[in-house]
Structure 1
Amino acid sequence: MPAAGPRPTLTAVADRAGVSIATASKVLNRHTDVAPATRARVETAVAELGYRTPGARRADGRRTVEFLVDVLDSPYAMEVLRGVTLAAEEVDVDVTVSRVRGGDRPEPASSWTRRLVTARRTGAIVVTAQVTGTTYASIARARVPVVVVDPLHLTTPELVSVGSTNWSGGRTATEHLLGLGHTRIGVVGGPEASISAVARVDGFRSACQRAGLTPDPDLVRHVAFDRDAALHAADAMLRLPDRPTAVLASSDVQALGVLEAARRLGLAVPRDLSVVGYDDTYLAAWTNPPLTSVHQPLQDIGRVALRTVLGMDEGRLPDAHHIELATSLVVRDSTAPPPPAGPGGHR
């Protein structure tokens, strides 16, 4: 977060927006008799200057933390939100949820940080939003405590984030499959731009190297954290003449795509193909068969993120700018020893 300095004044906001002090005050107090274009100029000036009204909390004195997410139907995000909400209840803090627009026209950080300032939020927790140097600059100007959960990019070390031990998670899952006797293992990894996805694949490669195996490049595919993308990647691998006997996915949602690809090709899990997911969301226990998955302590990540935001609001800096919680492997029914080679086997 930015170093302490003189706080910008309402006069400075009015000057930057080219309006009167009275008009700037109306915008900050949410009066409705202000033209939309004028309101936008004032809100932009507030975000650019990092202006916060004295005691920038709600009128009733309650603290409110905003939970911003780009995918509203993500089991991963909902598990994090559960942890945030439970932690907030313990300290009597309100939580609001809003969406950061993604896709082909992602919402700029200046837009959602402006919303945080004008809504007088205590701070924010951002899940899977695109994080760049520009993002951090917008957060710094707004002077609002922000914690990013497992960012896709982490190009700014000053940004505070919470995640898990992704490299270790990928390695542990691979060691489980190697221990069952699998030597031809496919990986449906997340996007190569995602630091967490790359770390999981690096953990996979490390386990293979330790076992004296060289991963087949045709069996390592980087796709979106998406069921359909994983389905297509897994289908291509499972149609190879020497197909894998196990597939490690980088999320439970991706694992659903792998299971569907296997079903369409008439492969039984785990008799013909072992499948491992990642995250250990509620989906893992609901699949058929129940999914072996790397457990990320998502609720604990949410709790830590909430406590960190509140601590930053009170002037306490976290011990580290990136906090990692330990992963573990939950073994269920989707993994077993590989099928025998030859007639009735996988080759």
Structure 2
Amino acid sequence: MTPAERPSTDTVERGGATIARIAELAGVSTATVSKVVNGRAEVAAETRAMVEGVIREHGYRRQKKPNRATLVELVLHELEGAYAMEVIKGVERVAGEHELAVVLTELRGKHTPGRTWIEGVLTRKPAGVITVFSGPTPAQQEQLASRGIPFVLVDPTSVPEPDFPSVGTSNWSGGLSATRHLLELGHRRIAAITGPPHALSSRARLDGYRAALDAADVPVDPRLIREGDFNLVDGLAHGRDLLRLDVPPTAVFAFNDAQALGVYHAAHEAGLRIPHDLSVIGFDDLPPAQWAIPPLTTIRQPLSDMAAAATDMIVTLNQGEPFTQHRLMLATDLVVRASTAALRG
């Protein structure tokens, strides 16, 4: 057995079992348990599952030692576009202050990491994991927790468990503000191009849209609500369909800036001018919004600040400091530019 393979016999904090005790309970060698704990791949799936079950039941925590973590893991559902760049900038800003390198994982549009990801994380032993518009599976959460690796959710796709730290934004207020802005300009036929229904942010923005219409005594017209997937192609396709209605909308609230730019293309194809013939408002306020023609009115979501706050949380948790707020919500702001105007008589 080489020194690298020799299992640790560290004692553990109260409430957790030693490697030797876990091996005894699972009926395997301490070397096997050590490999599972450290994310090594050369363990049969059935044996790994059995050891993981014992760890979940009895816990495993090394004695607290000086923190030598040098990495923070950042998991994004996709790396393309300004959304990802804003998140990366926020994480890098705080990670650099604490001399932490950033490891990036792209899920290629998925919202949960795969098995090879968790094995890599357990091997790297980072200061913590930040997942954006995605999240680890329950089993992966247990694996991270049993190894003392904290994780923080940014823009979570569903309501986080109370004990899971998360950073979000006031999506409901943003949806309300966007729709209220259009109503104040005299619009009543206001279409909404949403995000996917599984996304918490999309549902909250839709609720805000409906609340604004209800407060103004404007009936919600189901024909004006279209389900998208937060990309430009959806904005273009749904924009075309909406503008072909017998009574088309005079304004469109797209639930992100990319979909709003898709509506721009649909309006151009239909020979309509923005905002003279159609008002358009987006959500995010990513850098391309101000360079659109005309510049896009949108709801600013502070993505870079959200990512920075999540990284601060990781540093705090990794240092074992007390945590005052598990769920942080940052405010959104209405940014009025030239893509919205008063309804023409």
Shorter-chain TM-score tier: 0.7 to 0.9
Of residues 5-14 and 163-172 in structure 1, the stretch that sits farther from structure 2 once superposed is 5-14
* Structure 1 SS opposite 2:104: strand
Aligned to 1:89: 96
Conservation of the 8 A alpha-carbon contact between 1:171 and 1:203: yes
- Closer/same/farther in 2, CA of residues 200 and 5 from structure 1, 3 Å limit: farther
1:124-167 per-residue CA deviation (whole Å, 9 max, x = no partner) reads 11001156655544443443110000111125232211011111
* Structure 2 SS opposite 1:230: helix
What amino acid does structure 1 have at the position aligned with 2:76? V
After superposition, residues 120-135 of structure 1 pair within 5 angstroms as 120-130=125-135, 133=138
1:9 has 2:14 as partner: no
1:207-254 per-residue CA deviation (whole Å, 9 max, x = no partner) reads 111111112111111221122123222221111011111111111122
Aligned to 1:311: 316
CA drift of 1:6 comes to 3.7
Aligned to 2:10: none
Aligned to 1:181: 186
Distance 1:256 1:13 in 2: 56
CA drift of 1:54 comes to 6.3
Conservation of the 8 A alpha-carbon contact between 1:153 and 1:193: yes
- Closer/same/farther in 2, CA of residues 338 and 161 from structure 1, 3 Å limit: same
1:71 has 2:78 as partner: yes
Aligned to 2:177: 172
Of residues 313-322 and 244-253 in structure 1, the stretch that sits farther from structure 2 once superposed is 313-322
In the superposition, the TM-score normalised over structure 2's length comes to 0.83
Aligned to 2:252: 247
**Seq. identity, %:** 39
After superposition, residues 24-103 of structure 1 pair within 5 angstroms as 37-38=42-43, 49=55, 61-100=68-107, 102-103=109-110
- Closer/same/farther in 2, CA of residues 217 and 228 from structure 1, 3 Å limit: same
Conservation of the 8 A alpha-carbon contact between 2:35 and 2:43: no
Distance 1:9 1:74 in 2: 46
Distance 2:233 2:280 in 1: 16
- Structure 1 unaligned residues grouped into runs of 5+: 341-347
Of residues 133-142 and 194-203 in structure 1, the stretch that sits farther from structure 2 once superposed is 133-142
1:173-213 per-residue CA deviation (whole Å, 9 max, x = no partner) reads 11111111111100011112211111111111111111111
* Structure 1 SS opposite 2:201: helix
CA drift of 1:113 comes to 3.6
Distance 2:64 2:70 in 1: 10
1:158 has 2:155 as partner: no
- Closer/same/farther in 2, CA of residues 299 and 44 from structure 1, 3 Å limit: farther
CA drift of 1:168 comes to 0.6
CA drift of 1:17 comes to 8.7
Number of residue-to-residue matches in the alignment: 329
What amino acid does structure 2 have at the position aligned with 1:318? F
CA drift of 1:111 comes to 4.9
Distance 1:67 1:320 in 2: 21
Question: Which of 202, 221, 227 is 1:222 aligned to?
Answer: 227
- Structure 2 unaligned residues grouped into runs of 5+: 1-12
Question: Which of 271, 274, 282 is 2:276 aligned to?
Answer: 271
CA drift of 1:122 comes to 0.9
1:117 has 2:122 as partner: yes
Conservation of the 8 A alpha-carbon contact between 1:293 and 1:329: yes
- Closer/same/farther in 2, CA of residues 75 and 198 from structure 1, 3 Å limit: same
* Structure 2 SS opposite 1:38: coil
1:296 has 2:305 as partner: no
Distance 1:118 1:17 in 2: 22
CA drift of 1:102 comes to 4.5
* Structure 1 SS opposite 2:213: helix
Question: Which of 184, 187, 203 is 1:198 aligned to?
Answer: 203
In the superposition, the TM-score normalised over structure 1's length comes to 0.83
- Closer/same/farther in 2, CA of residues 247 and 23 from structure 1, 3 Å limit: same
What amino acid does structure 1 have at the position aligned with 2:216? A
* Structure 1 SS opposite 2:265: helix
Aligned to 1:343: none
* Structure 1 SS opposite 2:152: strand
Of residues 127-136 and 245-254 in structure 1, the stretch that sits farther from structure 2 once superposed is 127-136
Distance 1:37 1:134 in 2: 19
- Closer/same/farther in 2, CA of residues 317 and 265 from structure 1, 3 Å limit: farther
Distance 1:266 1:318 in 2: 55
1:324 has 2:329 as partner: yes
Aligned to 1:238: 243
Distance 2:173 2:243 in 1: 26
What amino acid does structure 1 have at the position aligned with 2:89? R
Conservation of the 8 A alpha-carbon contact between 2:282 and 2:298: yes
1:255-296 per-residue CA deviation (whole Å, 9 max, x = no partner) reads 122222222222221111111110111121122221111001
* Structure 2 SS opposite 1:293: strand
* Structure 2 SS opposite 1:193: coil
CA drift of 1:315 comes to 2.2
